[in-house]
Structure 1
Amino acid sequence: MRFRHRRVAAAAALAAAAVLGLPACSAVLGGEESLVDADSLVVGVKYDQPGLGLETAAGSGEFEGFDVDVARYIADHMGIPPENVEFVGLNSAEREEMLISGEVDMVVATYSITPARRTQVTFGGPYYVAKQDVLVSADATDIQGARDLEGLSVCQSAGSNSVARITEGLGIAVEGTEQETYSDCIEELRSGSVDAVSTDNLILAGFFAQTPDAFRFVNNPFTDEKYGVGLPYGDTEACEAVNKAISRMYQEGDAAEMLDHWFGETDLEMVHSVPQFEGCD
């Protein structure tokens, strides 16, 4: 039986606990197995982000990118063979929902660790610390950093915090617009419907690498975006196993090879040292 099916029963236990007034954590975690006991995994990844998570052909179920490679590495470290790892495409707004519902067992999808998300999800990692940056049209040479976005339209994906980090975090007034995915934002930028797309530099570098003549990667980063591995809430054993895998991935040079493979031809300044973990409690 797949682990995700066992977690459906755990969700039912959670609902029952709410009805009976029992402590939810004890009702679920007391009878739920950890992901470290799984013999297969369903992993949620992005399907439209080149270099990170991209479905190679629509409906194929085959995915490629840095996040996909990281997920495979973690699964191998946990003793799960490649043939028992299934990838499912999702967008930013679906990550918590699909993890909590049990549709996926793990999420590796440019999933920034935030205090709000940690109330619903246990995060391993981070496996990479990206920085927010800006992508503009190739002819927008007057935009050299986030401050130059004042009064301009900036696109983000649904479920992202990117615009808020500019308006609330930096106090820069921009016109925020939202599309379902970042690939939709890129099309808005290409057509001239928005002035800029702002999100994590790994995401932007992947799109930039596809059509470097059409866009300009501002490459003036701000904020730290800690990419975590989303796990079922309370599964500290799996979190610890994931952190051990990430440490080995960097120490043995595999992370550097992955990053160079997917982003080596861009101007992105990449980090090859083990990130500081957030802790599994």
Structure 2
Amino acid sequence: MWTRGGRGRTVAALGAVAVLALPACSAEGGAEAPVESLLDKTSVTIGVKADQPGVGIGGDGVYEGFDVDVANYIVEELELPNVEFVSITSNEREARLGGDPDLPPGTPVKDPVDMVVATYSVTPARSTLVTFAGPYYVAKQDILVRKDDPRVKGVADLAGLEICQGEGSNSADRVVTELGIDANVLDVPDSYTYSDCVQLLKEGEIDAVTTDDLILAGFLDEDPEAFQFVNSPFTEERYGVGLPHGDVAGCEAVNRAIDKMFQSGEAERSLVRWFGETDLDLVMSVPQFEGCG
């Protein structure tokens, strides 16, 4: 079903016949139309990041990283058919799963995906728009600065400094809104990603980038002479597998695959492959699942 090469590189190919399950449905102020389950699909499109070293990077259907390894394991365990990997940004995830709150129910989804494995933190607001399996990892929010900058030792030191976040992310907003730290969040275009923010950091246009430690560790590993990791975590980020809202059967099947990935040791091998040479305190045990209801 899959061919591999290098550090976890995967190439989509034709898959086996899908396991069948009854369509799931959910209610929010009344019954919703039944949702076609991931398990009933005759082809599956999976959204992953394309610009985050160690997590999800690549293009043209070929991607690699920890998130891609997780997605690949789920595909093989569930025998999902005709799988295609596509790039997705933080700003697109809900909409491409059919959970855009600004569109009327039944509106055709532009460039739809069936599953998202893309450093997708589970939040109460997002959980009203999509169904989350997992989480498959609990990351910590941390900070990346330039190698020669001694000013930032912890999140409080971001006060008065210029920071940046990828569009659709909430990491920098969390610093300002939830923690009350008076940092200046750069106003960026809708197309901005964390790789754009890291490039601005390298060029001296901003002072710091703060987001999940797995994401930052990948950028640091790619250019250790340019950056340093503050290594002072201050929140938990529970990475979930995003599915269309109401796909309970698909969610439960994905959870079983995630549990098996950890129990078999494959999750640990993947984490060590991508982040074993960093200073991160990697979590090797399966996280407690959120529940699919």
What's the TM-score, normalizing by structure 2? 0.83
Shift of 1:200: 0.4
Aligned match of 1:222: 234
SS state at 1:154 partner:
strand
Residue 161 (structure 1) aligned with residue 175 (structure 2)? no
Shift of 1:24: 8.6
Whole-angstrom distance in 2 between the partners of 1:25 and 1:86: 34
Runs (4+) off by over 3 Å = 23-27
Aligned with 1:140 (options 149, 152, 160): 149
| Residues 161-200 of structure 1: pairs in structure 2 closer than 5 A | 161-179=170-188, 180-200=192-212
Aligned with 1:49 (options 49, 52, 55): 52
Residue 246 (structure 1) aligned with residue 244 (structure 2)? no
118-127 vs 36-45, which moves further:
36-45
Structure 2: which amino acid aligns with 1:190? K
Whole-angstrom distance in 2 between the partners of 1:156 and 1:168: 14
Change (3 A) 1:76 1:178: farther
Post-superposition CA distance 1:209-263 (Å, at most 9, x none): 0000100011111111000000010010111111111111111111000000011
Aligned with 1:235 (options 247, 261, 275): 247
Change (3 A) 1:270 1:280: same
Whole-angstrom distance in 2 between the partners of 1:178 and 1:110: 22
Whole-angstrom distance in 1 between the partners of 2:187 and 2:54: 22
| Residues 5-20 of structure 1: pairs in structure 2 closer than 5 A | none
SS state at 2:33 partner:
helix
Aligned match of 1:85: 83
Post-superposition CA distance 1:155-202 (Å, at most 9, x none): 110011111211122221100114410000011000000000000000
Structure 2: which amino acid aligns with 1:28? A
Unaligned runs of 5+ in 1: 1-9, 11-22
Aligned match of 1:206: 218
SS state at 2:241 partner:
strand
What's the TM-score, normalizing by structure 1? 0.86
Q: Identical aligned pairs, as a percentage?
A: 57
Structure 1: which amino acid aligns with 2:218? G
Aligned match of 2:92: 94
Structure 2: which amino acid aligns with 1:92? S
Shift of 1:61: 2.2
Aligned match of 2:120: 111
Structure 2: which amino acid aligns with 1:176? V
Is this contact kept in 2: 1:135–1:196, CA < 8 A? yes
Shift of 1:37: 2.1
Aligned match of 2:273: 261
Is this contact kept in 2: 1:107–1:231, CA < 8 A? yes
Residue 121 (structure 1) aligned with residue 130 (structure 2)? yes
Whole-angstrom distance in 1 between the partners of 2:77 and 2:245: 21
Change (3 A) 1:24 1:76: farther
Post-superposition CA distance 1:126-153 (Å, at most 9, x none): 0000010000000112311111111101
RMSD: 1.8
| Residues 31-70 of structure 1: pairs in structure 2 closer than 5 A | 32-55=35-58, 60-70=60-70
Structure 1: which amino acid aligns with 2:238? K
Shift of 1:27: 4.8
Aligned match of 1:71: 71
Is this contact kept in 1: 2:39–2:80, CA < 8 A? no
The size of the alignment, in residue pairs, is: 254
Shift of 1:60: 2.6
SS state at 2:178 partner:
coil
Is this contact kept in 2: 1:46–1:109, CA < 8 A? yes
Aligned match of 2:33: 28
